[in-house]
Amino acid sequence: MRGKGEGSIFKDSRGLWTATIELPSHDGKRRRKVIRSADKKVVVDKLKKVQRDLEERGDLPTAGTSVEQWFAYWLDNIAAQSVRPKTLAGYRSVVTNHIVPGLGPKTKLDKITPATIRRVHDRITQEKNLSSTFALNAHRVMSRSFEIAMREGRIGRNPAKMMDAPRKGTKTLEAFTVDEALSVLSHVAHDPLGARWALALLTGARRGEALGLELDRVGDELDLSWQLQRLTWRHGCGGVCGRKYAAYCPDRTLKVPADFQYRHLTGGLYLTRPKSSAGWRIIPLVDPLKTILERHIQNAEPNKYGLVFTRPDGEPLDPDADTRAWKSVLAETGIQRDVVLHGLRHTAADLLYLAGVPEDLIQEILGHSSRLVTRGYKSLRNRERLQDAMGMLSELISKAEKERTRAVAGATRPALE
């Protein structure tokens, strides 16, 4: 057997000049690169180039894997072990709907070029009329996957890095003014889930953080260390169970990274930890939110999950249903502004800025900080400053409410206490 990098040239049974070069073995299996041509000089020149590439890179891909085969393998065996379930679901969606059709399912992995990848970009932005930000995300998924393909010797270089990625688009989310925020709070004051919207407006709590808030994490402080998410099951039967949805498969599976923390509630709903330690935070609870939450908890029926917000039957609120409910609330207020649910975080940020809260504390309250520190360290170090910050917001709301009450004296809606 020849050693790594050594080659031989001979005529095969079809009369073609053939060169073979030994490559590093994978899992003890012998690997060779084969070059064929009717012209011996072509084979000799290609062999020399392959030998130079092998010396430079240490390994070379061998022929075979298609785009469809590779991405299915990558999603199920590699990405599933390294990213969170919601991220993996996003990967599957963009791979299935855009990357594989754009690259061509049967296209060989080692035949992908920058021009091939550009087809994916064009498919997204021109054919599907989606944003350049979406195209950028697809590009990043391809690049991440191709990096693994390089490590496994399936391709010699990452074609996604041979071209510029699409530019990220700009998008500004609408946010309420102080007066509009007060109008919303007044409107939902007697709504069964009014406290849920107040929580988002006055703390910037994300949707999952609000829906996953538990009673034992509400006191003088709010502990936003878990979030409610719907996770996607996968068929574990190999597709033979006949069930359309994997959640009903008898052998259903949920692949998660080893360090992913979660607690099952019911069906596909789970409590999960935030993506980073910055999202795992404690916020001092002050009025008016303190009173609003206490009133809600006193009037709510107990539920077996210990959640603050539930459906009338005591079951957890579905995240998508929560988004639809917010759209209905916004329509009822009569405010002519397209403030999406996530826009309430922007409103909270604006209110904190208007209240004069220092920017570093705004980042901590909203969970935008990139500093990797523990919850205890953060809460002990900044407890007094955080208390002052939330007090400043409370003062702003109280002052604005008094001014608003005087301006609309005689209004039918009761003011917040």
Strand partners, 224: 281
Which residue in 181, 171, 172, 222 sits closest to 351, CA to CA? 181
Joined together, the tokens standing for residue 164 give 């510029």
Q: Is residue 287 part of a domain?
A: yes
Q: Is residue 250 part of a domain?
A: no
Residue 288: asked if its preceding bond is cis (omega within 30°), the reply is yes
The vertex-329 CA angle with 325 and 334, nearest 5°, equals 150
The vertex-176 CA angle with 201 and 364, nearest 5°, equals 45
Which residue in 318, 283, 96 sits closest to 212, CA to CA? 318
- Residue 239: DSSP 8-state: S
- Do 53 and 79 share a structural domain? no
pTM of the model: 0.70
For residues 289 and 199, is the Cβ–Cβ distance under 8 A?
A: yes
Q: Select from 133, 162, 191 the last residue of a domain.
A: 162
- Residue 218: DSSP 8-state: B
- Do 358 and 213 share a structural domain? yes
The backbone region for 15, taken as left when phi is positive above 0, alpha when psi lies in -120 to 50, beta otherwise, is: left
- Do 281 and 337 share a structural domain? yes
- Do 221 and 201 share a structural domain? yes
For residues 173 and 340, is the Cβ–Cβ distance under 8 A?
A: yes
**CATH number of residue 297's parent domain:** 1.10.443.10
- Do 146 and 107 share a structural domain? yes
Q: Is residue 327 part of a domain?
A: yes
Strand partners, 262: 272
Q: What is the pLDDT along the chain (417 residues), one digit of tens a residue?
A: 444 444 578 888 888 888 887 877 766 667 777 888 888 888 888 888 877 777 766 666 655 688 999 999 899 889 988 888 889 989 999 999 999 999 999 998 888 999 999 999 999 999 999 999 999 999 999 999 999 988 877 787 899 999 999 988 777 778 888 888 888 888 888 888 999 999 998 888 999 999 999 999 999 999 999 999 998 877 777 777 888 777 778 888 877 777 788 899 988 899 998 876 666 788 888 888 899 999 999 999 999 999 999 999 999 999 999 999 999 999 998 888 888 888 888 888 888 878 777 777 777 887 765 433 223 223 344 556 667 778 888 888 888 888 888 887 765 555 444
Quote the number of domains for the chain.
3
**Which segments of 38-177 does DSSP mark as H helices, in order?**
40-57, 67-77, 85-94, 100-103, 114-122, 132-151
pLDDT the model gives residue 377: 27
- Do 83 and 51 share a structural domain? no
- Do 390 and 349 share a structural domain? yes
Joined together, the tokens standing for residue 230 give 């719907």
pLDDT the model gives residue 382: 52
Q: Is residue 106 part of a domain?
A: yes
Q: Is residue 103 part of a domain?
A: yes
- Do 188 and 156 share a structural domain? no
Centre a 10 Å sphere on the Cβ of residue 219 and count the other Cβ atoms it contains.
10
For residues 192 and 255, is the Cβ–Cβ distance under 8 A?
A: no
- Do 320 and 399 share a structural domain? yes
Which residue in 135, 145, 157, 162 sits closest to 70, CA to CA? 145
Q: 3-state DSSP helix/strand/coil percent for the chain, to nearest 5?
A: 50, 15, 40
Joined together, the tokens standing for residue 240 give 């033979």
- Do 204 and 340 share a structural domain? yes
- Three-class SS of 339-387: CCCCHHHHHHHHHHHHCCCCHHHHHHHHCCCCCCCCHHHHHHHHHHHHH
Q: What is the extent of the structural domain holding 297?
A: 178-231+268-407
- Do 186 and 153 share a structural domain? no
pLDDT the model gives residue 373: 27
- Do 109 and 213 share a structural domain? no
Report the number of secondary-structure helices (H) and strands (E) in the chain: 14, 8
Q: Is residue 346 part of a domain?
A: yes
Q: 3-state class of 300 per DSSP? A: coil
